[in-house]
Amino acid sequence: MIKDIEKFSEDVKEHLTKKIIPFWKNLRDEEHGGYYGWLGYDLKLDKKAVKGCILNSRILWFFSNAYLLLGDDSILREAEHAWKFLRDCCVDKVNGGVYWSLTYDGKPEDTTKHTYNQAFAVYALSSYYDASKDEEALKLARELYRLIETRCRDEYGYLEAFTVEFKPEANDKLSENGVMAEKTMNTLLHVFEAYTELYRVTGDPEVGEQIRFLLSLFADKVYNPKLGRQEVFFDWKWNSLIDLYSYGHDIESAWLVDRGLDILKDEEYVKKLRPVTKEITANIFQRAYRNHSLANEAENGIVDTTRVWWVQAEAVVGFLNGWQRTPGEPRYLEAAWDIWEYIKENLVDKREGSEWFWSVDEGGKPLEKPIVEPWKCPYHNGRMCIEVIRRIRNVA
């Protein structure tokens, strides 16, 4: 078994080092900083496209963690390039916080301050500090953490969208499916993810307390025990707005919450949340894993059978995590490996100068969506590679 899963890890590592890392290195903007924001399905690069701050935070996170895994100094230099762009351009020096997007040459384009954006910057800066030991990056991560806690929440949890001066506004950026959500599972998940990383590198007790608060929200407000799934869109008091089952977010949440529990090391919360993550994983396996891959979501019971790049990547990690938590369940390891084979066959773009398709239909035909845009980045697929390598290394 060990030799078999080592082959899995070696295959993923080759993909990381020969496909994903070189692709994103080639998108480095030497003239204006950061990384180019758009590569169309036709593989035409738009050097004057908007640069999403989420995209650049995620690139910073990716290169930082790839360096921590591989120890390649050229990767750390990419992370440093991303860090300088975030520091110099993405942060509002007057009002604080991170913008939504910038022009190609680093000027504010969309000045919305979204909690989701602040969280990804904290996540990236914490990892970059771990990779570089740059105290300035950690200082900024702490400042953004305090900003989230003072400007982006109410007594019930974390709010979503704000103007440049942090006045609440409609959450059109993270609302979908015909609703306008005042709170979302998605933003909550990524605040949790960011705080987990900040706590990992600092051990700050205050951050640990906020992680406990977030875990309680997942257990008591977001998770629906009757349906064995998370709800997605909410009003400000956590009343669900829509019958939506997001398969990718559920399997992603399961492993991220488990990782957070490992780092927090609080037995009370382990007892409270482990049964939830175990059930979420089992239900996704039973309900969404079909034809070697995961469907996208189900609204009002109607399944969207599109195979989306990030959903498959999170499924690989989620099922690998499920196998590690319950070694007597080889079906999860088999599923992780099976989905990886599906990814190689259907989602990895074989064309020179490309990376992964955004999505394919149920028959495996690529949908003509961009290869790079403000949401399409190396965060999900790069992180999948990093997690597979780290986890199998620990098992071996």
Q: Is the pLDDT of residue 2 over 60?
A: no
> CB burial class (10 A; 0-12, 13-18, 19+) of residue 38?
buried
> CB burial class (10 A; 0-12, 13-18, 19+) of residue 91?
middle
Residue burial 283-309, b: 16+ Cβ < 10 Å; e: rest: bbbebbbeebbbbbbbbeeebeeebbb
Dist. CA 22–CA 348, nearest whole Å: 14
Name which of 335, 229, 327 is nearest 277 in CA terms.
Answer: 229
- How confident is residue 3, by pLDDT bands cut at 50, 70 and 90? low
Dist. CA 218–CA 197, nearest whole Å: 18
Please give the structure tokens belonging to residue 104: 């190609």
- What single letter denotes the amino acid at residue 70? L
Residue in the structure block whose two tokens are 């949340």 = 273
Cα 150 vs. chain centroid, distance in angstroms?
24
Q: Is the pLDDT of residue 396 over 70?
A: no
Helix, strand and coil content of the chain, in percent to the nearest 5, comes to: 55, 15, 30
> How many residues comprise the chain?
396
Q: Decide: 273 and 223 in contact? Cβ < 8 Å.
A: no
- What single letter denotes the amino acid at residue 365? K
- What single letter denotes the amino acid at residue 306? T
Give the per-residue pLDDT at 53: 98
- The rounded percent of the chain whose pLDDT value lies above 90 is 95
Residues 6+ positions from 112 with CB-CB distance below 8 Å:
99, 100, 161, 162, 163, 164, 169, 173
Dist. CA 198–CA 200, nearest whole Å: 5
**What is the per-residue DSSP string for 214-282?**
HHHHIIIIIEETTTTEE--EE-TT--B-S-EEEHHHHHHHHHHHHHHHHHH--HHHHHHHHHHHHHHHH
Give the per-residue pLDDT at 1: 52
Dist. CA 69–CA 299, nearest whole Å: 38
Please give the structure tokens belonging to residue 180: 């306008």
Residue-wise pLDDT for 185-216, tens only, equals: 999 999 999 999 999 999 999 999 999 999 99
Residue-wise pLDDT for 224-280, tens only, equals: 999 999 999 999 999 999 999 999 999 999 999 999 999 999 999 999 999 999 999
Please give the structure tokens belonging to residue 95: 């009002």
Helices (H), 47-172: 53-70, 73-85, 115-132, 135-151
Overall number of domains in the chain: 1
Please give the structure tokens belonging to residue 238: 């956590």
Residue-wise pLDDT for 316-351, tens only, equals: 999 999 999 998 889 999 999 999 999 999 999 999
Average pLDDT of the segment spanning 359-370: 97
Mean pLDDT of the chain: 97
Which CATH number fits the domain that encloses residue 51? 1.50.10.10
Q: Decide: 354 and 23 in contact? Cβ < 8 Å.
A: yes
Please tell me whether residue 45 adopts helix, strand or coil conformation. strand
Average pLDDT of the segment spanning 48-62: 98
- Cα 282 to Cα 192, 193, 308, distances in angstroms: 22, 22, 20
Please give the structure tokens belonging to residue 66: 């790839």
Please give the structure tokens belonging to residue 141: 């991560």
DSSP H or E stretch at residue 9: helix 2-15
Strand-strand pairing, 108-110 and 307-308? unpaired
Say what the alpha-carbon torsion angle 232, 311, 389, 40 is, to the nearest 10 degrees: -120
Question: What residues make up the domain containing 252?
Answer: 2-395
Q: Decide: 53 and 98 in contact? Cβ < 8 Å.
A: yes
- Residue 202's region, left for phi above 0, alpha for psi from -120 to 50, else beta, is alpha
